[in-house]
Amino acid sequence: MQHDLAVVATPVATGHARLVLTGELDLGSVPTLRDALARALPFATQCLDVDLAGVVFLDAAGLGALVWCQRRARAAGAECRVVASSAVVERLLHLTGTHDLLVALPAVAHPA
């Protein structure tokens, strides 16, 4: 069963955009992610969040595309971070040592 990649881009706030990915992020779908990033970056002048909770498959090409997205965002002066991910994605990020590079740290609650 094939799960094509779907990407929904939404502005969150001024300078902040979000990409929500569902399906498979692999060699065949990398161009879809790159196109979505190109459309989202003008709105993500400060931060681009990437939600991978709906990704059911991630290969090396997809992982490379995520690193590429981060580099493109940084070159444009924005931060790019993975804010949600599936178990499949988490496993690959940990196995490859890219988890700390790509995943946003959870918010720390400050006492009132």
E-strand ranges in the chain read 6-13, 16-25, 47-58, 79-85
Q: For 6-36, what is each residue's pLDDT tens digit?
A: 999 988 899 999 999 999 999 999 999 999 9
Domains and CATH numbers, the chain: 6-102 (3.30.750.24)
Whether the CB-CB separation of 72 and 34 falls below 8 Å is answered with no
E-strand ranges in 14-64 read 16-25, 47-58
Please state the separation of Cα 80 from the chain's center in Å: 7
Q: For 61-98, what is each residue's pLDDT tens digit?
A: 999 999 999 999 999 999 999 998 999 999 999 999 99
Query: Global pTM?
Result: 0.87
- The predicted pLDDT at position 105 comes to 62
Residues 9/5/59/66 CA torsion (nearest 10 deg): -10
Closest by CA position to 68, among listed 101, 45, 22: 101
Whether the CB-CB separation of 94 and 63 falls below 8 Å is answered with no
Closest by CA position to 4, among listed 35, 20, 28: 28
pLDDT confidence bin for 107, thresholds 50/70/90: very low
